Structure 1
Amino acid sequence: MTDSVRPWDALGLTSPFRRDCALAALVALLSATVLWFPDPTVTATGFVVLTLLAAQAIALCLRRVRPLVCIALVLVLQTVLSAVVPTGQGVRGPAVAIAVYTCGTLLTVRRSFALAAAAAGTEIAGYVLFSAVPATFGPAPVMQPSAVVARAAGQLLVALAAYGGAALIGQNVAMRRRYAELVELRAAEAARAQAARVESALAAERTRMARELHDVAAHHLTSVIVQAALVERLVERDPAAARTGAITVREEGRKALSNLRFIVGALREDGTNGAPAAGLAGIAELASGQGASLTVTGEPRDVPPAADMAFYRVAQEALSNARNHAPGAPVTITIRHRRDGTTLLVRNDPPAVVATPTNGDRRGFGLIGMRERATLIGATLTAGPAADGGWQVELTVPRAEGEPPP
């Protein structure tokens, strides 16, 4: 109920001390009701007993802020109760059991049960000294010594059971609270670890994209430099050819700038000068190597280099996932060239047997990487179960603005 308003908070009981004060008032009222209900006439002794029970209940205000002080006050008042009640009788207030229970929730097992035993011993000692002994050996004895021993022994057993049970319940509640805190702590740690793994997967995917786009940008810039040198030589001898070369330089610069926009937050690793990844043209070889069938529909068209690499990487990752999660299931790859864009669909049939992942720590990160790559190039990626129980991944790259339709 951490995100909702608790009922006692709505009543203004927003702190443990305030809630304990409310509990003390309720215990005092119940104690007075139980004692007063059988006999509405209140004698002087009865008034003193009611006052002492109320004082015991008020001491419960300290049960969580000062548990040892609370139980000490309650036991002192319990001893006074034994002294003021009529000889041979005893009164056991509920405040003692509540104080012992609270100590059970806050203290160690040994201290909790030691306090329970001390509470039972104090209560019975007060009964014997201030009530039973005067009733047996006083001027007007009303009890036999054997009856005192039997009654004291019986009351001791009852007190030990009551207060020991209260301490045991308190310890059980404390253990459940600690277990709940441990579960919440482990869940928070697992969430942080998962977030760290996701960030690591995204960083790795962005770094790989940075390497690939670096090679594409280097290709464009090399072409720009060559064309610029040619324009410089032709600007006086052949202005028309120089103008054509300048247009080529502008187009190459535009393409390079378009691709460099996708390097957002990615850093190139030092010492990695690998060859650029294959694009749409390399999917046929990738499919044959993985035993997948390939279908291409529509008129092929040129796509931006970043999108070209994205098609290849998504197909590569989807085939890897199909091999890991549905080994032996048929896989089909469909490439559709349309007027509004190009779509790649990788689909596998349901697996014959449930596969055991070979790398459980990386489960789900391939899909995260694919989504990140699709987002950076302005594409749409969907992945999910197929109607027949298989799995499919679909990447759609819309036609770039200003790009002529096929």
Structure 2
Amino acid sequence: MTKLLPFEEAQRQLIALAQPLEADTRSPVHAVGRYLAEPMVAQRTQPAADLSAMDGYAISGEGPWRLTGESRAGNPFEGALADGDAVRISTGALMPSGSDRVLIQENAEIDGDVLTATGGIPTAGRHVRRKGFDFNRADKLLDAGVYFGPAQLALALAANTASLKAHRKPRIAIIDSGDELSAAPDMSSPHQIPASNGSMIAAMVRDLTSDIMHIGPIPDRLDALEQAFNEAGKADVIVTSGGASVGDHDLIRPALEAWGANIAFWRIAIRPGKPLLVAQRGEQIILGLPGNPVSSFVTAQFFLLPLLRALAGASRPFAQAVGAALSGSLMSGGPRLHFVRAVYDQGRVTPIDEQDSSALGALSLANALIERPVDCPTSASGDEVQVYLLENGRIA
């Protein structure tokens, strides 16, 4: 029997196949959702001058002070403060020359044009955002391989970034296969199963891809599968669901070989998801996911999503586990890495009773996957376990 490939080695071999896709130059607004192909460098200093961090009074000297004007955000005080002077100042307003601190309004008392402090006098620099405290011109703000999202967009605009280079998103084709699958859920016969894996996978990868082609269900015939591969066209990644195991009607592997693909590896030491297959034809990468929906879901989390991120230029394509306290108990680990569907809540995680790889009801309740290492000891309630958290049905 073929030895099962260890989980981490399978991930390593898969990502080794994934060369980042080409990049283009675009405005920051149109780069959102992509990964940077080169570092982003600041084109200005932020803030460009000392600003007030609070509403109150910019002061000079030890007080009491004489009010001489106001500095508002976007409308600075034009003069300079002499010892004993103060101006009213709002958050974000330019600090006037001659002042290096702000007396917040909660600690101030006004009598006519005379200002006094009701608490201690603030120390130098208190409540002031110093010039360049966020970043300076020519600072490297983001590394290549970083995801460019809403916060990064705000940073780019604040840094006067007119354009940046980002990788394109991969194109994906998803093929459902199996004689038992019905394309119309409301018209399935008792011997059929509504096709759901392809739609589930498409929902998981929608924001990581530029185009999703959904093909099938395809019957268990070599010619039909080869035709489906041809229909995938120029997809960067082809994903199949079902037919990757060792049964007489599991034809994904022979169909791929007949189509001209090279099998990179097949069958890995995880549960659920052992029949995972990875192949390559030219620059296209093919993932053969198991047909059982939970197995398909789990292998997509740990293989398909990292693959898409790596192709899109991510420097860190893999999700990270976090520690959580176990509620309940778990048996010792077996010869395969096991991902247990579970419910996470406020630092504690509870395994779901039903762990069958076809159980969609249980899967829909899960918001976490507990990682059970090979041959690990029994875990009791309160023990720390490693958990992958699911956000909107995907590992965050």
Provide the TM-score with structure 1 as the length reference.
0.27
Larger relative strand fraction? 2
Larger Rg: 1
Provide the TM-score with structure 2 as the length reference.
0.27
